[in-house]
Structure 1
Amino acid sequence: MDTPPLTDCGPPPTSPDALLARLTALGIGHVTHHHAPAFTVEESRAHRGDLPGGHCKNLFLKDKKGQFWLVVALEEAPVALNSLDRIIGSARLSFASPDRLWEHLGVRPGSVTPFALVNDTGRRVNVVLQQAMMEFDPLHYHPLVNDRTTAVTPDGLLRFIRACGHEPRIVDFGRPGEGK
């Protein structure tokens, strides 16, 4: 079944306010900062100022067997798709289309986040977290839109992901000097 073009996808399945309410209901502490929309790591750096903690990037990927992967890592971590597949046990990886991103996670490009797992009710997305990222507190992610950044603890992130019905894999990848 073809997905509708991204321009026809309508409102997001979960609003940022509903997401934050869910974090609160789960007992997960969070702080949200508003800023200009940030579509790239570089734009995020420019907008966030000196917020402490781990600042992250999120890659929504598809493997050649049709499985979907959300890979979450520190923003400066090198992520080499040609070796990540072997590390995580997937088939050859490539970036999934914006339409697939909307279909599975209910967010648009530039807003990819582990918080979008709230929209993966079919549990079709495999979740991979960088081990080095989990050593930072707090961790920063977009709350489904890219004009805000929400900080949570690593334990809060894990609790949220598990409450969404996913069991994340914490993997050692993306260390400085890798993928070059």
Structure 2
Amino acid sequence: MEKENFFVTLKQLVDEFNLEVIYEGEDLSQRKVVSTELNRPGLPIVGFFDYFQPERLQVLGRVEYTYLKNMESEKIYNAFYEIAKRDVPAIIITRGQEVFPEIVEGAKTNKVPVLRTNDSSSKFMASVISYLSVELAPRITRHGGLVEVYGEGLLILGESGVGKSE
């Protein structure tokens, strides 16, 4: 049986969590999220990309924001240029924090969407992980028919169209 890869579009996430779109990049209904895990990019901001997993959403919370406030403009741009060139699904800023223009400019290099939520990082991440865990869960489809035989339920499995319901 072939394994099907499930995904959620960024448009679905924006609608589900009322995310503010700061920079769309490309059609959000075409951008896929395939991982249930998220990333707080503290180390990538300072240039450490060992074991970086670009398929994860990048979530900037209060700690990252506070660090960025003390960085030079060019370094902020370079940090988000490096993150965006790895084609992450999106950069999401929590707590309704101000979005530095350098983040958007860095994200534009690879059309990476920049989104914002008013939720705290912990609350947002817990909600998104829960949602993605359901939406991206493995699924199995079986063809079958249910019948009752002497008061017991019986499930008859077989290929589609072989007469299970006859």
TM-score scaled by length of structure 2: 0.32
Higher-RCO chain (CA-CA 8 Å, sequence separation at least 6): 1
TM-score normalized by the length of structure 1: 0.30
Q: Which has the larger radius of gyration?
A: 2
